[in-house]
Amino acid sequence: ENSTMKTTVFATLLATAAAFAPATQKASTSSLAAYKEEIGATAPLGFFDPLGLVDGVDQERFDRLRYVEIKHGRISMLAVVGYLVTAAGVRFPGAGDVPDGLAAFPYMHTTADGKTVLMQMLAFFVVAEIVNRDAFGLAEFPGDFRNGALDFGWDKLSDEAKTKKRTIELNQGRAAMMGITGLVTHEVIGSSILPGGYLPGH
């Protein structure tokens, strides 16, 4: 299991590193011309697409990629919080014996209590997937899941404030994707980056 996990993490790192691989000047230039004003093209890199993933794609494809990026960013933000909270010893009632870090995965499919927690997690994932979507075609942008009900004052914000908040979410999600990758990688290699040298899963 440890070998499999190391292989998984290594593959993730390779995929991450590939994002920084050089691409042709032609691809970068044409992509920049098409989407340089999109949200997320922020300093210091500006529009950054070294692999040319959006080179020549239409707006529909770009919005799909942006939706996937936002979704993975939101999941990663939850993952970082969950990883750090459980590392701090916090547990839901009845889940006090669930270990933190990657050690939680074998526990959840080999023990009765773990299987209960796993079923609860799966139920949450199903509900979250159903709820977090544009159910009525009312989205103003990729990742807008208000569905005409949950507003929280969004419509009262200026266009500048909306752009700022969307940019913050996008960049925080990008940071979280790198963050959870770093946390898991350090756990696998046995090198703590948490206060006090604590190493989850060990």
Query: How confident is the model over 139-158, as pLDDT tens digits?
Result: 999 999 999 888 889 999 99
Answer whether residue 33 shows pLDDT above 60.
yes
Average of per-residue pLDDT values in the chain = 85
Q: At what angle do helices 59-87 and 159-189 cross, to 10 degrees?
A: 50
Cβ 161 vs Cβ 58: under 8 Å: no
Counted residue by residue, the chain has a size of 202
**For 105-169, what is the HEC assignment?**
HHHHHHCHHHHHHHHHHHHHHHHHHHHCCCCCCCCCCCCCCCCCCCCCCHHHCCHHHHHHHHHHH
* Mean pLDDT calculated for residue range 185-192: 96
If one compares 11 and 125, the residue with the highest pLDDT of the two is 125
Residue 66 has pLDDT above 50, yes or no: yes
Q: Whole-prediction pTM value?
A: 0.80
